[in-house]
Each structure stands twice: as C-alpha cells, then as structure tokens.
Amino acid sequence: MDKQAFLFTGQGAQFAGMGKDLYDKYNTFKNIFDEAGEHLKINLTDVCSDNLELAKTHNAQAAIFAMSYGIFKLLEEHDITPDCAAGFSLGEITSLAASGILNFKDTLDLIRLRGEVMQDACETFPGLMYSVIGADDKLVEEVCESILLKTKNYVIPANYNCPGQVVISGDAEAVEEAVKIFADKKIRTVKLNVAGAFHSELMKCNSHKQFQFKEFLGTLNYNLPKFDLYSNLIGEKFVFRNEHSSLNNIKSFMIDYIPKQMSNPVRFRTELENMSYNGCGLFIEIGAGKVLSGFVKRTCENAKFVNVQDVETFETAIKSLL
C-alpha cells in the first residue's frame, strides 16, 4: 500500500480571505487560529482579510502557519495522519510542529522571530524573486553564474520546485538582468509576491535580530518526531528516527539548520523524488493554494494528490481518504 505524505505550503501562497470558512465552521481550527493570534498579539482574522497586511513577511508567516497547522489538527481529529511530511520553506517549520519536534507555542515564537529576521534582511538588502518557467536547471544555473562573474551582482537559483521550474533570487539589478536574458531566449518568468530575496545570501543580514534568533533556538525544547521528515536543504530524510538519535542531537542540529534553511536553496523537487522513491504514492497538500500539488503532478509519475485549503476541499478529502 502506498505511503501517505503531508506537504505544508510556504510563503507566497497567501491570499485575502484564506481560512475564513474553516474558522467559521470548525471549532478546532478557530481555537488554533485564536490561540496563535493571542500568543503573537496580532488579530490573525483581520490580517487574513487584508492583502496589504499579508504582504508583510512576519504577518504572512504567522497566518500561513496557523492555517496549515489548524488544517493538520482537523485531519488528525479524523485519524488522517502521514507516514512522512515535508514543507516548502516556511512549510518546513510547520512540519516540525506537526511532527512534534517543536510544540505549538514554541513554533509560534520561532516563526515570529524568523519573520522579523527575514523582514529586517529584506529592508537591509532589498531583492527580488522570479520563477523561471520551461528552462532546465543547468541553464538557470549558468545564467546566474554568468551575471555574477560579469557584474559581481548577486543572483542564484533559490528554489528547485519541479522539472521545468526554478526560482531565482538575489539583488534587484542582478535578478532583472537574468529576467532579460531569459526573455531573449523566449523563456517565461513570473515575479513572486514576496518581500525580498529569500533563500539567498541576502538573508544573512548581520543584525542583532539574527544573533537573538540563534540564541532563541537554543532555549527551545525539542522532541523526537512522530513521523519521517524531509529536508529542504538536502532533499533527503532527516535522520531523527533511529537508535542513534537523541534530543541533544536534534537540538544541536536544529540550532544550526534553521538559520541555514532561510539562506540556502530549497530542493523541493529532490524531496518529492525521494519521497516517491521511498514509497509515497499519495501527497496531501495542506494550506493555502494548490502550488505544491502542481509540483507533485510534474515531478512524481502516477502519484495521487489531494489539496486541503477550505471547507469544500477538507470535506472532499475526508470522504476520499477515509
């Protein structure tokens, strides 16, 4: 029987009105949303109704996490649980909470500080991200390298999403130069709705906030995960569920890993390929939008996928999965 994988959405998938019908209908979801907003001292229902507020990194990350985690708990109530999980960028932090490595309130604090660090980096080193559609990985890498060598301006492949789709990230001048080169080659690009150059060196702002962030990670309690997790950085399973794992190992690993995760490429295509190779045939996308389901469709031949983002898709998923 095929294994079941949960995929948690990341920043950029947010939209005004997300989660409202789930909030109105299900107390479990409402309680999580309210608890998250109260803990973070923001009104998440107001944030989720306003595209301008959702454009702010710290707001977007809190709202996306609360929505995804709330849906996860609704599925869990119906005894729908994964054999393994992965998340895209911010979604990887959601996967840590869902697996039990981090508790809910610690994760909220982590996401708040992570969002502040990233927003600070965006304001200090402004940048852009574009999705490159229809080019192979090697060509995208060569274009980025040529710009760096020729101009010293910074642009890299930041997200390896699926075959034929790579996201570039870097300073505005370099990214726009890359976009022009792709246009000359008749390759389509799409600007992403994000605040800066995520998953690039521009996220390594030498600020007091970053120092605080690493110190904060050392204060958290970490637990063994309930299911396997796959890593954005290497595209393979975290080795946390064997006889050699310990809570100290997990803690030291996460203190190093989580800051790196913000400033290094996301190898989501490799994650999907490895999950499929290891027996995952059903992928359940949890959170706003259907982007990750599209990645599955284009990466994993014959895989089935389900998206859960509102009352209709939740109720359809419950019927089909049970």
Catalytic residues: 89, 199
Q: Are 133 and 191 in contact (CB under 8 A)?
A: no
Query: Distance between CA atoms of 282 and 142, rounded to whole angstroms?
Result: 34
d(CA 44, CA 255): 28
CA 156 → CA 115, 128, 265, distances in Å? Answer: 22, 11, 8
Size of the chain, expressed as the number of residues it contains: 322
Give the CA distances from residue 276 to residues 21, 82, 188, in Å, rounded to whole numbers and listed in that order.
32, 14, 29
Q: Give the tokens for residue 94.
A: 């959601």
* Beta-bridge partner residues of 306: 284
Residue 266's DSSP bridge partners are 159
In the block, residue with structure tokens 């040529």? 146
